[in-house]
Amino acid sequence: MNDFIEQRIIDAVRRLLSGRVIELLHDMQFSIPLLEFGDYCDNSVIVPVITLASSERTEKERIILLDAYSLTITFNIPETPESELYCYAYAAVVEKAITEDKSLGGIADRIVLTGKKYNPPKKPHCGDGWEVVITIRIIVERGL
């Protein structure tokens, strides 16, 4: 087990994405590209990018020794007629998975989805794809 809380958070988010999120995608009424992690260059799967950063803490969080993190999950989706629908589907299933597991399997004290941003291609039909960026705030009690 890794001692760094940051790595444990990222691992927990990957487990969430590769577990419950994929289950929810399977339950949908239409076909959506599945999520994979690794070096894929194929349009049949989507490789989410997970980015973690320390976040500004409130005074209360500082006093009671809570660390705050901002985590973004970015889905880059190749442009197809269904790309916009895929963006909404990924955002919905991630939000549902987070709502079901408010502690990332016991890693965090609280997680909250703080934003969803949908970015269409800058210039349609020129090779750029859609992008959905999901922002999550994670609160972890600091061990002494």
- Compute φ and ψ for 27, nearest 5 degrees: -75, -10
- Sign of the C-alpha dihedral, residues 22, 23, 24, 25? positive
pLDDT band with cut points at 50, 70 and 90 for residue 143: low
Helices (H) and strands (E) counted in the chain, each on its own, are 4, 6
5-141 maps to which CATH number? 3.30.70
pLDDT at 1: 47
**Higher-confidence position of 55 and 31:** 31
Percent of the chain with pLDDT over 90: 49
Percent of the chain with pLDDT over 70: 93
Copy the structure tokens of residue 5.
């809380």
Q: What is the pLDDT of residues 27-44, one digit of tens each?
A: 888 788 888 887 766 667
User: Are 71 and 54 contacting, i.e. CB atoms less than 8 angstroms apart?
Assistant: no
CA 131 to chain centre: 12
For the residues 21-29, what does the mean pLDDT come to? 88
